[in-house]
Structure 1
Amino acid sequence: MQEHPNYQDIVLVGGGHTHAIVLQMWAMNPLPGARLTLVSPQIQTAYSGMLPGMVAGHYSLDDTHIDLARLCRAAGARFIQACAHHIDVKAHTVSLLGRPPLEYDLLSLDVGATPVRELPGSELAIPIKPIGHFYNFWQKLQRHVQKNRTSLRLGIVGGGAGGCELAMAMAHSLEEQIYSGRVQIHLIHGADEIPQGYPFLARKLVARELDSLGVEIHHNWPVSEITEQGVRSNNGELLNLDQVLLSTNACAPPWLADSQLALDDKGFVVVDRKLRAQGHQEIFAAGDVASFSAGPLPKAGVYAVRQGPVLFHNLRATLTGQLLKNYRPQKRFLSLLACGGKRAVAVRNGLAAVGAPLWRWKDHIDRNFMQRFSDLSISMEEMPSAQPREILNQRQGISLASMRCNGCGAKVGPEVLRGALAKLPIQQSEYLLRGLGDDAAVMDLPASQLLVQSSDQLRAPVADPWLFGRLAALHALSDLFAMHARPVSAQVLATLPTAAEEITQRDLQQLLAGTIYELNRHHCVLSGGHTAEGAEMQLGLTVNGLAEREQLLEKCGAHTGDCLILSKPLGIGTILAAEGMGEAKGRWLQKALETMLHSNAAASGVFAQHGAHALTDVTGFGLLGHLLEMLKPDGLSATLIAEPLPLIPGARQCIERGWLSSLQPQNASAYSFVENPREWQSLPHWALLTDPQTCGGLLAAVPASKAEACVRALLQSGCSQAAIIGVINTRGNPQPKIRLRRDGHWRQLITHNSEAEHSQV
């Protein structure tokens, strides 16, 4: 049983600096009884202080971004990658794009700001925020400049500190092209001061740095319109530009306008000194999205960072009945502006200086800040004292027995179950006569069709129950797709971690909603199931499909000379193992999840259309184990080629660092069937041959004459890394043998096999 069940949900929306600090502090001092969830559309969040250095080429993407998935893992928090687009303050829910709303007891917003886009034609420009979109643009621009010798005129609208730093960073990166005259960078500002709001000496130093880098400054040049030709001023003057970038004043995300929260004239959430939203004791806001009723603050990262400890304390204090702290913004602080090259301008108390030592100082400060997030580890120790949990229990009127029941007493309560089922989407099926709500499901099956049935169960590989429901459904349905059967119904066995009834209901509703999301996509209906409490979240599905006898595909039946085609890349097991220990990069996890969420339904149809002789899915036993299941019944052997074997980005790094799934040692018995292990043992592919795959791809034996057309069809269906990875060899072996090759082409192997058979005859 879980020692500290969850009683309250704290939902953090947005991965800004303040929330990153809260998560870092939570990792070191969690509050038992409170569950923390972060919702963010990005799996990595940028640290604004290092972005000019990234554009200039001094830092990599990883240097400048906080890995939110890893940070949440260290904090014991759930990470949900989604876009928020509405808040219902009465229902205490946050609506998320493409998935069910998320309920909260406490809510905190740190969703940042975006450049104002009220200029006519602003849709033609590239905004600096969100950073991820701008960084993709910047990478493409750099490649374009390197490959093309044509001239390029770039304009940055906005002469604040951010616009000046961006102009200098871009100029430094493109220095050779700027001095050759091929690239021009224009900094455009409507006022006389650049950077605006800085003392005279600082402005003079920044202007000198801009000039030395070849940036052309346009003072007193208010932009009235952005066109395809460039920008037009208030007096009608046109500045010809090939691309316009926006670094203008910030505005709030537009979706907050319908949030029923008190907003200022720019759409930012009005908060008090305790960071609470005006009129809502259970909602907080911090960072750029917060607007203080006592007076506005500049949109600067230094304020957001300082708000982190205050928000951390106040979230906990709200739940435990302690006094909340006031946030007191610092009146003076050191400002360090990056100057493209490894130089910086330092400004404080009206004084300013510039030079390389100041850059080194800034670099030291920034790297130390980022280090606090990368040094976090996954704690395996017990949680702190249960006293805060007892306070939560008293405040919420919760009473749980010290020992939970087993047997039928472990079932989820009827009110919880009814509450969760009531929020699920309506389902319809031409075959289901009785389903949810009855003692058993009743189906009317066509007489001419066979019933194809399979069961599968997973422990939750992710903390997001909605996402877990999707993955579990796809993993179970994959067995039907491997038989080329059509899914029609499913039943679930769901285990929910011990928690307060309201939390259990929330989790069950999210879990089943994710399951139904995938079932509906495949015209499959949820017909019933069973729920229970346990130590951890688990979900099993029994799935039923229909098929004509002649359309079924099986694991056996491959022919000599068939090509082996794999529809998805390998590496899910090792990436999930690394993520479980807090060692996987967020972008690796994101690629693994994208692979897992790609249904095998389309691939199953493609393989059937191209005459596959045998078909199976690659799951827990790994590629080698499932290939042996294909070979053994017919006494076949096979050759695999390393070169085309598709791998998920990050899988190579994880396997080389020794992050192995717990099932891998048992799968290793399959290596005894490899004829020439030494040729592959130095390759990462060697360990990945037995890497267990959750929601892995399909492996098919396809006639050689149709193999290339089959791969093209798979690529068109969305299987972006589908590949021919080997061929089926001759029959007649008492035990299947698998030969490995580092490189080569499958046609050479087929020719070799044909010659070998001919010589034997």
Structure 2
Amino acid sequence: MQEHPNYQDILLVGGGHSHAIVLQMWAMNPLPGARLTLVSPQVQTAYSGMLPGMVAGHYSLDDTHIDLARLCRAAGARFIQACAHGIDTSARTVSLLGRPPLEYDLLSLDVGATPARELPGSELAIPIKPIGHFYRFWQKLQKQVADNSSDLRLGIVGGGAGGCELAMAMAFALKTAVKTGQVQIHLIHGADAIPQGYPAMARKLVVKALEKLGVQLHHNWPVSEITEQGVVNDCGSCLPLDQVLLTTDACAPPWLANSKLCLDKKGFVLVDQTLRAQDQENIFAAGDVACFAPEPLPKAGVYAVRQGPVLFHNLRASLTRRPLKRYHPQKDFLSLLSCGDRQAVAVRNGLAVSGNLLWRWKDHIDRVFMQRFSGLPISMDGAAPTQSREVVNQRSGISLSPMRCNGCGAKVGADILRRTLETLPEQHSEYLLRGVGDDAAVMDIPSNHLLVQSSDQLRAPVDDPWLFGRLAALHALSDLFAMNARPASAQILATLPAAAEEITQRDLQQLLAGAIHELNRHHCALSGGHTAEGAEMLMGLTVNGLAEREQILEKTGARRGDCLILSKPLGVGTILAAEGAGEARGLWLQQALETMLHSNADAAEIFARHGARALTDVTGFGLLGHLLEMLGPDGLSATLIADNLPLISGAATCAEQGWLSSLQPQNASAYAFVQNPQEWQALPHWSLITDPQTCGGLLAAVPVNQAEACVAALLQRGYAQASIIGVVAGSQTSEVSIHLRGNADWRALISQDSESVQTQA
């Protein structure tokens, strides 16, 4: 049982600088009884101070981005990758795209800003924010410049510090990338001073740096329209451009307009000096999305960073009923502008200097700042170190460590269950006669059909209960797909950690909604289940499917000469093991989750259509273990081709560094059947063929004349890494064995085995 059950939900929406600071400080000093959750559409958040250096080529993407998934792990916080698109202050919920809303007791917004799109034709331009979209454009542009000999004209609209830094960074990077042709960079600004808001000495140094890099400046050139030909000013003059980029004045995310929060004219959240939203006791805002009245601050990361510690204190103080701190923005601070070629301009108190040493100083400051987030310790169980003795409990009469019942008393209360079930979608089934609400489910099995049944249970591999519900359902349904059966009904066993009633209900709603999301997608009705309290979140499902006798596929039945086809890549186990220790990159985890969430339903239909003789899903025993189950009863052997084994990005790195699943040692007994282990033990594939997979792919033995068409159909249906990974062979000793090859043509392997058969004959 948890030492401190959760009693309050703090929801952080947005992965901006302020929230990153809150999470970093929370990791060092958590508040027992309060559950912290971060919602962000990206697993990485950009540090604005290093972005010009990334564009110039001085930093990699990872150097300039904070890994939010790892930061949340260090803080003991939940990370939910989703896009917020609404707030209901009365119900205390945040709406998320494509999934149920999240409830909160305390809400904080740090969702940033985007360049204003008020200019006619602005949809033709590339905004600098969000950074992820711009970075993809920048990568494509660099390749285009390197491969193309034609001239290119780029225009940057907005002559603030950000526009100047971007122009210099792009000019420096493209100067070395161009082989033939010419790239022109135009910096366009409506005023006569570049960069706007800086003293004359600084402007002079920045203009000199821009001109040195060949950037063409257009002062007093207010853009009135963006067209496919370029930009047009107020006088009707047109500046021909091939691509326009926007670094203009920022605006707030549009979805805040319907939030009933107090907003300024540009849609930013009005806050007081404690960062609390006006007229809202339980909502805070920080960073670019916050607006101080009557004097708004510039949209700069330096302010957001300084707001982080104040926000951290005030979120905790709000729950523990302590005085809030006031944020006092710095009146003057050191500003360091990157000049593309490892030069920087330093500005403070009206004075400005430039040089290489200043860039090195800025580089040191930025790297030290980023180390605050990447260097946090992470315990293997994901719990943050507990130093604080504060305890949140505003529920009168509830002890933080109450005696919990066992047996049938250790279940979720009737009121919680009733309220949860009322929020779930209605279930329809042509086979289910009685279901949720009765003591047992009653099914009408059609004549000439077989009932196919399977059970599976998972510990939560992620902190997001909605996502966990989806994964648990897909993992259980996969057994039906492996038999080529059609899902019909399911029953759920859900275990939730002890918490306050509100927290338990919120988690149960998310968990069941996630499971039903997948069950409904596969026309499978929830017919009942049971809930319980426990030490951790668990979900098990018993799933029922229907199949005509002749359509059933089993894991045995492969024949010599069949091709072995795998529908999804390997590596889930090693990536989850690395993530639990804080060593997996957020992007690796994101790809692993995308792989896990790809249903096996379509793959099963494709394998059946292409004459698969044996079919199984690759789950806990790993590829090698499940392959042995397929071959063993028929006394067959197989040759696997290492280069054809599809791997999730990062899986090989995690395996090489020794981040292996706790089930790996038990799966390792399958290595005894490998004929040539000495050739493979140094390769990451050696570990990954016994890596346990959650929601893994399907492994099929397909006749050789259908194999290529089968893979093509899988690729067309979205199984992007489906591959022929080996061939089935005979066994001279009647004992199953596996031979591993590094690089081979599967056609040649079949031909060689056929010749061997003829020779034996």
After the TM superposition, which residues 579-658 of structure 1 pair with which residues of structure 2 at under 5 Å, given as runs?
Answer: 579-658=579-658
Q: Which amino acid aligns with 1:278?
A: Q
8 Å Cα contact 1:158/1:247 also seen in 2? yes
Alignment partner, residue 403 of structure 2: 403
Gaps of 5+ in 1: none
Q: What CA distance in whole angstroms lies between the structure 2 residues aligned with 1:133 and 1:43?
A: 14
8 Å Cα contact 2:604/2:698 also seen in 1? yes
Q: What CA distance in whole angstroms lies between the structure 2 residues aligned with 1:548 and 1:25?
A: 59
Q: What CA distance in whole angstroms lies between the structure 1 residues aligned with 2:282 and 2:229?
A: 49
Q: Which amino acid aligns with 2:740?
A: L
Alignment partner, residue 266 of structure 1: 266
After the TM superposition, which residues 430-469 of structure 1 pair with which residues of structure 2 at under 5 Å, given as runs?
Answer: 430-469=430-469
Partner secondary structure for residue 685 of structure 1: helix
After the TM superposition, which residues 404-553 of structure 1 pair with which residues of structure 2 at under 5 Å, given as runs?
Answer: 404-553=404-553
8 Å Cα contact 2:17/2:304 also seen in 1? yes
Alignment partner, residue 738 of structure 1: 738
Q: What CA distance in whole angstroms lies between the structure 2 residues aligned with 1:732 and 1:545?
A: 39
Q: Which amino acid aligns with 2:390?
A: P
8 Å Cα contact 2:477/2:487 also seen in 1? yes
Alignment partner, residue 24 of structure 1: 24
Cα shift readout 1:410-430 (whole Å, capped 9, x = no counterpart)? 010001111111111111111
Partner secondary structure for residue 555 of structure 1: coil
Q: What CA distance in whole angstroms lies between the structure 1 residues aligned with 2:229 and 2:195?
A: 26
TM-score w.r.t. the length of structure 1 is: 0.99
8 Å Cα contact 2:75/2:384 also seen in 1? no
| Alpha-carbon shift at residue 398 of structure 1 (Å) | 3.0
8 Å Cα contact 2:127/2:246 also seen in 1? yes
Alignment partner, residue 86 of structure 2: 86
| Alpha-carbon shift at residue 399 of structure 1 (Å) | 3.8
Alignment partner, residue 573 of structure 2: 573
Please tell me whether residue 278 in structure 1 is matched to residue 312 in structure 2.
no
Q: Which amino acid aligns with 2:411?
A: K
8 Å Cα contact 1:561/1:703 also seen in 2? yes
| Alpha-carbon shift at residue 340 of structure 1 (Å) | 0.4
Q: 1:525–1:733: structure 2 CA closer, same or farther, 3 Å change rule?
A: farther
Cα shift readout 1:175-231 (whole Å, capped 9, x = no counterpart)? 146797611000000000100000001001000000000000000000000000000
8 Å Cα contact 1:178/1:214 also seen in 2? no
Q: Which amino acid aligns with 1:19?
A: H
8 Å Cα contact 1:164/1:187 also seen in 2? yes
Report sequence identity in percent: 77
Partner secondary structure for residue 719 of structure 1: coil
8 Å Cα contact 2:460/2:539 also seen in 1? yes
Cα shift readout 1:378-401 (whole Å, capped 9, x = no counterpart)? 146886478522xx3246553466
Q: Which amino acid aligns with 1:363?
A: D
More displaced, 441-450 or 30-39? 441-450
| Alpha-carbon shift at residue 682 of structure 1 (Å) | 1.4
8 Å Cα contact 1:4/1:386 also seen in 2? no
Q: 1:343–1:401: structure 2 CA closer, same or farther, 3 Å change rule?
A: closer
Partner secondary structure for residue 393 of structure 1: coil
Gaps of 5+ in 2: none
8 Å Cα contact 2:145/2:178 also seen in 1? no
Q: Which amino acid aligns with 2:448?
A: S
| Alpha-carbon shift at residue 295 of structure 1 (Å) | 1.6
Partner secondary structure for residue 264 of structure 1: coil
Q: 1:180–1:727: structure 2 CA closer, same or farther, 3 Å change rule?
A: closer
Please tell me whether residue 675 in structure 1 is matched to residue 694 in structure 2.
no
Root-mean-square deviation (CA), in Å?
1.2
More displaced, 678-687 or 690-699? 678-687
Q: Which amino acid aligns with 1:149?
A: S
8 Å Cα contact 2:488/2:525 also seen in 1? yes
Q: Which amino acid aligns with 2:568?
A: K
Alignment partner, residue 156 of structure 1: 156
After the TM superposition, which residues 641-720 of structure 1 pair with which residues of structure 2 at under 5 Å, given as runs?
Answer: 641-720=641-720
Q: 1:486–1:147: structure 2 CA closer, same or farther, 3 Å change rule?
A: same
2:390 paired residue among 388, 391, 402: 388
Q: What CA distance in whole angstroms lies between the structure 1 residues aligned with 2:548 and 2:180?
A: 70
8 Å Cα contact 2:28/2:387 also seen in 1? no
Q: What CA distance in whole angstroms lies between the structure 2 residues aligned with 1:289 and 1:127?
A: 17
8 Å Cα contact 1:85/1:97 also seen in 2? yes
8 Å Cα contact 1:563/1:728 also seen in 2? yes
Q: 1:396–1:290: structure 2 CA closer, same or farther, 3 Å change rule?
A: farther
Alignment partner, residue 36 of structure 1: 36
Alignment partner, residue 45 of structure 2: 45
Q: Which amino acid aligns with 1:29?
A: N
Partner secondary structure for residue 393 of structure 2: helix
Q: What CA distance in whole angstroms lies between the structure 1 residues aligned with 2:492 and 2:132?
A: 38
Alignment partner, residue 199 of structure 1: 199
8 Å Cα contact 1:338/1:359 also seen in 2? yes
| Alpha-carbon shift at residue 577 of structure 1 (Å) | 0.2
Q: Which amino acid aligns with 1:268?
A: F
Q: What CA distance in whole angstroms lies between the structure 2 residues aligned with 1:306 and 1:619?
A: 47
8 Å Cα contact 2:252/2:289 also seen in 1? yes
Cα shift readout 1:468-527 (whole Å, capped 9, x = no counterpart)? 000000000000000000001000000001100110000000000000000010011111
Q: What CA distance in whole angstroms lies between the structure 1 residues aligned with 2:610 and 2:401?
A: 59
Q: What CA distance in whole angstroms lies between the structure 2 residues aligned with 1:176 and 1:409?
A: 71
Cα shift readout 1:509-556 (whole Å, capped 9, x = no counterpart)? 000000000001001111100000000000000000000100010000
TM-score w.r.t. the length of structure 2 is: 0.99
8 Å Cα contact 1:431/1:443 also seen in 2? yes
8 Å Cα contact 2:159/2:188 also seen in 1? yes
Alignment partner, residue 558 of structure 1: 558
